[in-house]
Amino acid sequence: MAVKETGVSYYGLSYPEHAKKDFEEMIAHNCNAVILALTEFDIDFWFPNIIEIAKVAKGMGLKVYLDTWGIGKWFGGEPTSLFLTNNPGNRQMSALTGEPLAAACFNTPAFRDYFYRIVEKLAEYVPCDGFFYDEPHYQLPKGIASITGGVADDWSCRCPVCQRKFEQQFGYPMPKMLTPEVVQFRENEALAIVRESAARFKAIRPDAKMICCVHATQNTYYVTERRGYDNWDKVGKAPEIDVFSTTIINYSLPQGFFVNITKRTVDIANKYGKGNQRWLMGYFNEPENLDRIKEVCHLYDDMGVESLFAWTYRGGHGTVLAAPHALELWDKLGEAYGEVLDPKYKIK
């Protein structure tokens, strides 16, 4: 048994005494870890109770990871962004039209300063085992290339800050075409904020595990999705990252896709001496037969996956993104976790 960690994400948290009951339910579903999905509003408004909730989870034996869910729309997720509400500028811009997008440009000093302050505040006050970089990406990624190969020409970010930085580094104005130099620039800048923030987090909490979760895409010779974190070697090699993680896969995709993504995830982690993590879809889309969840968990276990996470607690029950049979899915996930989690790591 390779699996040492099993968990779900948990959001909408406000009161420690209520969260405690949910954590008990997670442990009964064979989870030994939780990712607290914190919105910018949560971190701003509910901060005292976030600290208490993390203490409760840790006191019950759960590993606790913090996720600045949807921050600036740089990380994946549905939450709205306080940064975008409070800052009319510092947005990513479409390369072709020059229009501002509904996403913060994470290459601007304003957003980086904002993010570093949040990361340092979390590291300092919230008891936790690490931080989770949740699907970081540039805007417009899906238009560039989907797994079915659809392509488009537009990309981001070509805001004034990115243009200035590019020209300083390469000595000529930033092209409107996605040239190899632009690709290189976007990847380097995308990684820079991850590395700097991880270093700051670890400076405060040296034992923290920094998990970087990138989109599970094929990245073939012909089709690469331009989210900025598509070069897995580059991400896996970053010394500040401890765990290389890849996102959920829709159950309707063929088995070969599950095998391919998982093999490449484990290979990258092994190549750079990092931990690995794979995600399961535990909301919205469910397999026709819920037993498929067990098959996937066993496949990942057999392939050497150490950390298994699902988005999200109770199959998203009560949200617009709930799985059709959210609570049954949640129970099936719990059974699957029970079958693959090394008993040594199970919370008694």
User: Could you tell me where the DSSP H helices lie in 47-159?
Assistant: 47-59, 82-86, 109-125, 141-144
Q: State in angstroms the smallest separation of the CB of 90 from Zn ion.
A: 8
- Which lies closer to Zn ion via its Cβ, residue 184 or residue 319? 184
CA distance 126 to 47: 9
- Which lies closer to Zn ion via its Cβ, residue 92 or residue 245? 92
- Which lies closer to Zn ion via its Cβ, residue 159 or residue 326? 159
Q: State in angstroms the smallest separation of the CB of 192 from Zn ion.
A: 13
CA distance 333 to 348: 18
Phi-psi region of 159 (alpha: psi -120 to 50; beta: other; left: phi over 0): beta
- Which lies closer to Zn ion via its Cβ, residue 162 or residue 341? 162
- Judge contact between 226 and 232, C-beta under 8 A: no
- Which lies closer to Zn ion via its Cβ, residue 159 or residue 216? 159
Q: State in angstroms the smallest separation of the CB of 95 from Zn ion.
A: 10
Q: State in angstroms the smallest separation of the CB of 112 from Zn ion.
A: 11
- Which lies closer to Zn ion via its Cβ, residue 156 or residue 276? 156
Rounded to 5 degrees, φ, ψ at 235 are: -70, -45
The residue type found at 244 is: F
DSSP 344: G
Q: State in angstroms the smallest separation of the CB of 92 from Zn ion.
A: 6
Q: Which residue has the tokens 């879809």?
A: 281
32 CB contacts (<8 Å, ≥6 apart)?
5, 6, 7, 61, 62, 63, 341, 345, 346, 347
Q: State in angstroms the smallest separation of the CB of 94 from Zn ion.
A: 11
Token pair, residue 252, equals 């309707």
DSSP 287: -
Q: State in angstroms the smallest separation of the CB of 44 from Zn ion.
A: 24
DSSP strand E in 106-199: where? 130-134
Q: State in angstroms the smallest separation of the CB of 189 from Zn ion.
A: 8
Contacting residues toward Zn ion, per CB under 5 A: 105, 107, 157, 159, 162
- Which lies closer to Zn ion via its Cβ, residue 59 or residue 173? 173
- Which lies closer to Zn ion via its Cβ, residue 156 or residue 245? 156
Q: What share of the chain is helix, strand, coil (3-state, %, to 5)?
A: 45, 15, 40
- The Cβ of residue 345 has, within 10 Å, a number of other Cβ atoms equal to 16
Q: State in angstroms the smallest separation of the CB of 158 from Zn ion.
A: 7
Q: State in angstroms the smallest separation of the CB of 193 from Zn ion.
A: 12
CA neighbor of 121 nearest in space, from 224, 1, 205: 205
Q: Which residue has the tokens 């805007």?
A: 139
- Which lies closer to Zn ion via its Cβ, residue 165 or residue 237? 165
- Which lies closer to Zn ion via its Cβ, residue 112 or residue 332? 112
In three-state secondary structure terms, 345 is: helix
Count CA atoms within 13 Å of residue 83 on its CB side.
32
